[in-house]
């Protein structure tokens, strides 16, 4: 479980513009070599931005947690973490259900439990299966709905009901998901699925369902058609986003959510494309960081959260006295040094 420290005096997390960077550092050490090869000029705006900021919030965890640091940070921004949440129980699915059916959700009073189900492709190796990026399947709505319909009776035998949301994401409703930790897709993508499968008696049921769906999908006509078109088959599913909404949860209004979380670093890292990773850092520096530096210089209060696979650091700009500004000139915060702590 992560540990979090926060100063008592600060502006509201939802009213201060906030830039959150998932995978600013990675478990694979190749990210560091990629950044070290990048000319310092390509990250100079981030370096200058950090010189005018102070550490506001530290979230320390480990790379084996089911909920990665960027999802823990996003949960706080969405008002889903008013109290510490157990690992693997950030209620993304319950939140989506609430957003899609607010009247129905308000009447449930925590009596129904939710999960996301993602149709996906597992690359079967000699020793383990690797979860590949579901977006690469380019699954159509018609095919996704047909696959979900074929699976529905199997899920219903375990008192689980499926609801279509998007080609790559369904909602599952059932008592089985109550207090059942599940791993984020971002934890398992490109990796062996074994360490990230749900555990316990309820997890055993989901693992059985996964096996049954793999057998169902193996001979499904949609996969026959995909194979004839040289497309990867949909050969498994992934459960994630379990957890119940906090009792005092209040959904943030759109105008409050003044944050952005670009996925360019994450997308490159999850593909093990370290050249693209370095290029993504350079692009973020040239656009977002340059813009934020100008806004910081104009006196605007801003927040920056750098998320690795273990920990996250949140910084906030603050008005400084003239003496403080002079001191900051001699107190650089090297970007790489910070990232290595994540």
Domain range list for the chain: 12-78+253-339, 92-240
Helix (H) or strand (E) holding 47: helix 44-51
Matching residue, tokens 């689980």: 160
pLDDT on residue 262 = 96
pLDDT on residue 330 = 47
* Cα 117 from Cα 95, distance rounded (Å): 14
DSSP conformational letter for 289: I
Mean pLDDT, contiguous 10-residue spans, the chain (342 residues): 42 74 96 94 94 91 95 90 79 93 60 92 90 95 97 96 97 96 96 94 94 96 94 97 80 60 96 96 97 93 96 86 52 78 92
pLDDT on residue 11 = 43
Q: Is the dihedral of CA 303, 12, 2, 72 positive or negative?
A: negative
> What pTM did the predictor assign?
0.88
State the DSSP string of 246-276: PTT--PPPGGG--EE---HHHHHHHTT-HHH
227 exposure class (CB count in 10 Å sphere: 0-12, 13-18, 19+): exposed
* Contact call for residues 82 and 250 (beta carbons, < 8 A): no
Question: How wide is the angle at C-alpha 274 spanned by C-alphas 268 and 277, nearest 5°?
Answer: 50
* Cα 26 from Cα 18, distance rounded (Å): 21
Going by C-alpha positions, the residue among 182, 155, 191, 185 that lies closest to residue 168 is 185
209 exposure class (CB count in 10 Å sphere: 0-12, 13-18, 19+): buried
* Cα 68 from Cα 234, distance rounded (Å): 26
Q: How far is CA 243 from the centre of its chain?
A: 15
| Range list of H helices, 79-181 | 92-100, 102-108, 141-156
């Amino acid at each position: 479980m992560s540990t979090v420290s926060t100063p008592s005096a600060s502006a509201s997390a939802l009213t201060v513009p906030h830039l959150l960077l998932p995978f600013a550092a990675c478990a694979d050490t190749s990210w560091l070599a990629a950044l070290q090869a990048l000319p310092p000029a390509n990250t100079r705006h981030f370096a200058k931005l950090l010189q005018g900021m102070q550490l506001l919030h530290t979230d320390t965890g480990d790379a084996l947690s089911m909920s990665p640091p960027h999802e823990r940070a996003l949960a706080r921004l969405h008002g889903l973490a008013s109290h510490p949440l157990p690992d693997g129980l950030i209620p993304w699915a319950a939140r989506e259900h609430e957003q899609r059916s607010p009247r129905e959700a308000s009447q449930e009073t925590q009596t129904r439990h939710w999960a996301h189900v993602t149709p996906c492709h597992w690359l079967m190796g000699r020793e383990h299966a690797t979860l590949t990026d579901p977006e690469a399947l380019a699954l159509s709505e018609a095919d996704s709905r047909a696959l979900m319909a074929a699976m529905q009776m199997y899920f219903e035998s375990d008192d689980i009901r499926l609801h279509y949301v998007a080609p790559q994401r369904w909602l599952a409703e059932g008592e089985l998901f109550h207090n059942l930790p599940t791993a984020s897709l971002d934890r398992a993508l490109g990796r062996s699925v074994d360490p990230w499968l749900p555990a316990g008696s309820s997890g055993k049921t989901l693992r059985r369902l996964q096996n049954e769906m793999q057998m169902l999908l193996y001979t499904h006509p949609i996969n026959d058609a995909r194979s004839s078109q040289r497309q990867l088959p949909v050969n498994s599913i992934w459960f994630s986003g379990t957890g119940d909404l906090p009792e005092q949860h209040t959904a943030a209004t759109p105008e409050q959510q003044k944050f952005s979380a670009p996925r360019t670093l994450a997308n490159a890292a999850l593909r093990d494309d370290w050249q693209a990773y370095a290029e993504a850092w350079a692009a973020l520096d040239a656009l977002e960081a340059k813009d934020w530096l100008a806004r910081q210089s104009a006196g605007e209060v801003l927040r920056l959260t750098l998320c690795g696979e273990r920990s996250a650091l949140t910084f906030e700009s603050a008005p400084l006295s003239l003496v403080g500004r002079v001191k900051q000139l001699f107190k650089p915060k090297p970007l790489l040094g910070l990232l290595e702590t994540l």
